[in-house]
Amino acid sequence: MKKIATLLLAAGLVFGASTGASAIDFKAKGQWIMSFDYGQNGGFTGGNGMTGFNQATHRYKNEDEFEARQRVRLQLDAVASEALSGTVFFEIGDQVWGRANQGGALGADGNNVVEVKRAYLDWMVPQTDLKVRMGIQGMALPSFTTGSNVLNDDVAGVVLSYKFNDNVALTALWARPFNDNFDGEADGSRKYYMDNVDMFSLILPLTFEGVKVTPWAMYAGIGPNAFRDADGYFGNLSNKDFKSASRLNYMAGMLPAGGARHKDGTPVDKKLSSYGDAWWAGLTGEVTLWDPFRVAWDFNYGGVQYDDSHLNRQGWLASLLFEYKLDWGIPGLYGWYASGDDDDPSNGSERLPSVSVNNANNGFSNFAFHGNPYIAREAILGYNMSGTWGIGARVKDVSFVEDLKHTLRVNYIGGTNDPKMAKYIVGRGYEPFRDSGIVGPNMQAVGMDPLYMTTDDSALEIGLTNTYQMYENFTVMLDAAYLATWLDNSKSVWGNSTMNGKSDQVRDPWNVNLSFVYSF
């Protein structure tokens, strides 16, 4: 009798489990990446004066010439119906092999390597086609060429999407990238007071036969305490001067290089005490009407304004792409131009501001900019393209063997910032800079790109990407890149700065990356 009762109970549990499963459909997605890098002289993004330009090492971001690392991403969708679902997205890594605090050393017991990358809810308003997504999610502004140079990252917020017909749709979003991070004044008062940043955007995709055009606009309100600590001044010289460095790393694209400066380049020692307003607008699109010929473009304009005009930043970026699809590949020509700083540090910056492009895969460059789709050394010149111009040619997806594709790209890149700004960036004549050992075009000042390029500086990028689809879900990618750099080493620009008694020396960065990717 007990056996029968036990069997009935087990059957009931199985039946109940199957009933629950039919009500909620769980779907799993994931990606494993194993990545191996070898390269030299990529320290433009490394800071601490240890760079190829500043006579130091062959390191990249304080890494070894050879690095092995891995990343795991797991996504779970709980789908009740087409109108309701929830998603949680975990990321484990990056884990550098051998690094103890990341769990990559012997024993593999490191902490703080598991992250909740995204967690959001999708639902539809009943009896309508209005879609709502709320929670921590990936948000990207439109782009048909390079990927957004303003916003492409994970952020908490709400996105509303509505499709009026086959030709017109509308997306509205509210995002809150920062709030409740201010530790208060030195006496402990005003903790979390007026430290929020809120962004609002409207995106209007227009789709017609052979033509897509997407105008968009975004506004951000910035609280006066959003990016400072009790002793935090925007006039300070380097990210290391701020306790809230993580916030300032994201804020860098919304500040002038070096923070607030007087006309002679010395810092404005004044706490930010007023609200800020930031705004952007763009027009992106593509024409495929004459297939196999394709034309695509992006235009972005934006600004950040405070009561203290020393902190203002305003500029633009335009890019254009021509492609022609052939049976064996897709050759293309492209170019871009972004406004740069003038020679007056007291009037803020004339470069396009940005929020974050941490998730962007730059369509023109895998190495000079943030373009590699997996784990690799990249963004040697900058995470976005502000303050630069360039022309390039590529042959994309060339295939002579089944499941094996190649992409070859060549880019000539120049700076658009005034050379006279160099003396303010390196801080010549300002004692704290000379003592810090942080000199040169990549000294990592607040508001600066990895490499600050003037109109007298240039670089040539050559890159080759090979992708082999070994199995349906398994990809092997070999990416090689070389960046020849010509930085003005004259006394009037970057020259005459030394470190440890050694003179300036330009070393060209290069890197080879081998990635193994399993996706399901």
Q: Choose the weakest-confidence range: 135-144, 224-233, 359-368.
A: 224-233
Q: Choose the weakest-confidence range: 152-161, 228-237, 275-284, 399-408.
A: 228-237
Q: What is the pLDDT of residues 24-79, one digit of tens each?
A: 999 999 999 999 999 987 654 333 333 333 333 344 556 788 999 999 999 999 99
Mean pLDDT of 102-129: 87
User: Measuring CA to CA, how many Å separate 394 from each of 143, 284, 364, 484?
Assistant: 19, 21, 8, 17
Q: Which residue has the higher pLDDT, 139 or 227?
A: 139
**C-alpha–C-alpha distance, residues 306 and 260, integer Å:** 11
Q: Name the DSSP class of 63.
A: B
Mean pLDDT of 159-180: 96
How many helices and strands in the chain, by DSSP H and E? 4, 19
- Longest CA–CA separation in the chain, Å: 96
Query: CATH top-level class for 2-519?
Result: mainly beta
**Each residue of 434-452: b (16+ CB within 10 Å) or e?**
eebebbbbbbbbbbbbbbb
Would you state the pLDDT for residue 403? Answer: 95
Would you state the pLDDT for residue 423? Answer: 74
pLDDT for 426 beyond 80: no
- What's the chain's Rg over C-alpha atoms? 25
Would you state the pLDDT for residue 248? Answer: 57
pLDDT for 278 beyond 70: yes
Average predicted confidence (pLDDT) for the chain: 82
Report helix, strand and coil shares of the chain as percent, to nearest 5: 10, 45, 45
Q: Where are the domains of the chain?
A: 2-519
**C-alpha–C-alpha distance, residues 323 and 447, integer Å:** 34
